[in-house]
Chain A
Amino acid sequence: MEKTPTAGARLFSRDRLKQSLFFYAALAPAFLVVVFLTVYPIVNVFYDSLFSVDFIRETRDFVGLTNFVRIAGESVFQVSFWNTVVFTATASISEVALGVILALLFYGEFRGKRVSMIIIVFPMMISTMVICAIWQTMYHFEIGIFNYLLDTIGLWPIGWLINPDLALYSIVLVDLWQWTPFAFLIVQAGLNSIPKEYFESAAIDGARYSQIVRRITLPILWSQILLVLMLRTIDTFRLFDKVYALTGGGPANATRTVSHFIYYEGFRFFNLGRASAASVYVLLFVSILAVLYIRNILKERT
């Protein structure tokens, strides 16, 4: 279209300019905060990982990829990574599985459903540290309630948090208690959105309950289940506070996670170069998750 500089058009473009100024001003604050808090630190992590930085002595020497090579060869880091993967896999898969089972159990109307659901959601409304405090007392080897109950039925006490083979799974159990409700909420929302006719016609055809679940319910819910699994994977992979409060990474590094490893390097030893190198490893791993996750979300949105 040919434009002629009439008074009207000039007014129009001035208005357009004001319009886009408004939009830039609206986006700018959030944009700057996000860049400052995420883009800048990530660039910094990549940069610092190439140096041997000592925060206390304020020295900084370029060491190339030394940090990466060293850390990858250290058993503590390998163990931390492995622990994180084990924790992430066990916790997120069991939470989602339990969530699905609960959702199936809660399908339909029955007396006391609403109250029961509100109660089931309690754990995820309680602060993580409070939850850790409660479980810490229950897990206590000598005076905890779990070992007392085991004792009364004639079993040996269990070193919930002090047995290296068990401690990580004890933390999984705490995470399960806290976050299974989350999986449950999402899955049951999905379940309720499936038209009832699907189930009814299958039942008329004489399908058993287990067949209906396997052939109809789960396939329909599959994308939702994957999404919850993804969200739980993301959250469990950053595991830090439960480890910090319950075991401190022990016994013998049995519960040390990568987040905890980086925390120690960065804030206990003030070894920023090594902390950054470990962070880069985490970033690389997480970016794989990010690609999967974003693809999934975008598919869901469109």
Chain B
Amino acid sequence: MQQGGVMKRGILSWIVLGLILLLVLAPIYWMLVTALKTPREVIRPEPTLFPETLTLGNFITVFRDGIWLNFFNSVIVAAFAVGISIILAFFAAYALARHRFPLRLNSIFLMWVLAVRILPPIVVAVPLFTVFDQIGLMNTRLGLIISYQVYTLPYSIWIVFGFVRSLPIEFEEAARIDGASRGRLVMSVVAPLLRSGVVATSIFALVLAWNEFLFALVFVRSPNLLTLPVVISRYIGEYVTLWGPLMAIGLLATVPILLFSGYFYRRLTTGFTMSLK
């Protein structure tokens, strides 16, 4: 025992650590090698740990099938959903933190925002389907962007609210004495102070939007409007053994995130810790 709270780091703990990393990395490695295998090798009953013939054929296949369009949809929908959420959440959180609304609206609204996070999305999907159908939002990217607010907006409001509350009010008072209007003050004093908090929040919301499946599944039908998760689910369901292309899409969707994992890791930890409180 070296130190009280530290487990003695013998050979055993290194082996355990190695095993954990193996468990985490093995499926990701599996995706990588499967994407690089030929269709024939993929369905062999004795799987090979390393491709016998390396091929980029799977990537060519999925690009020919127009995967870039779905990629584009995912990016656009996620980016706009998060952008809108962040802007709305920023102003709402500021108003909630700095102004006392009548009828205890502040605490009621914030409670509701918290409660909504617990709501399984399928519960709102059914009634929203009817409304979207009536106002022409079905089968549009805009419809998805709006529906994603169910996830991203409450999260963003809650987290940004936490950041605003931790901001000392003195900065704003000083600016007000100098005669700045409330709008000027929010944009030139509050917004810069909140920048890192807002970045953390948007990355967190981006992960939510990028992963969204249910609304993308029920609100969009045309193949050229589908997002990546829905396309992947179709590959899983319909073309059972087309694993090469499937893993190629998976890799395309994953690599951008893993490349920035160091950065994301820092931001995500801030985001997660904030979302708890």
Seen from chain A, the residues whose Cβ lies within 8 Å of a Cβ on chain B are 18-20, 22-24, 26-27, 29-31, 33-34, 37-42, 44-45, 48, 55, 102, 104-105, 107-108, 110, 116-138, 142-145, 148, 177, 181-182, 185-186, 189, 194, 196, 198-204, 207-209, 212, 216-217, 227, 231, 234, 237-238, 240-241, 244-246, 248, 258-259, 262-263, 266-267, 272, 275-276, 279, 282-283, 286-287, 289-290, 293-294, 297, 300-301
Contacts and interface: CB of A to CB of B under 8 A. Distances in A.
Given A203-B4, A238-B122, A293-B114, A31 B30 contact: no
A128 B276 contact: no
A134 B44 contact: no
B169 interface: no
Contact of A262 (B27, B123, B182, B258): B123
A120 B228 CA distance: 24
A177 B123 CA distance: 27
A231 B232 CA distance: 27
A34 B182 contact: no
Given A27-B92, A134-B250, A116 B21 contact: yes
Contacts, number: 311
Given A27-B92, A41-B124, A125-B258, A300 B277 contact: yes
Contacts of B72: none
Task: Place the interface of chain B in its size category.
Answer: 35 or more
A297 B261 contact: no
Contacts of A23: 95, 98-99, 101
A301 B126 CA distance: 34
Given A128-B229, A262-B123, 17 more contacts: A23-B99, A26-B94, A38-B119, A102-B20, A122-B25, A127-B254, A129-B236, A130-B249, A132-B232, A134-B27, A177-B24, A185-B269, A217-B5, A245-B237, A262-B126, A263-B125, A286-B119
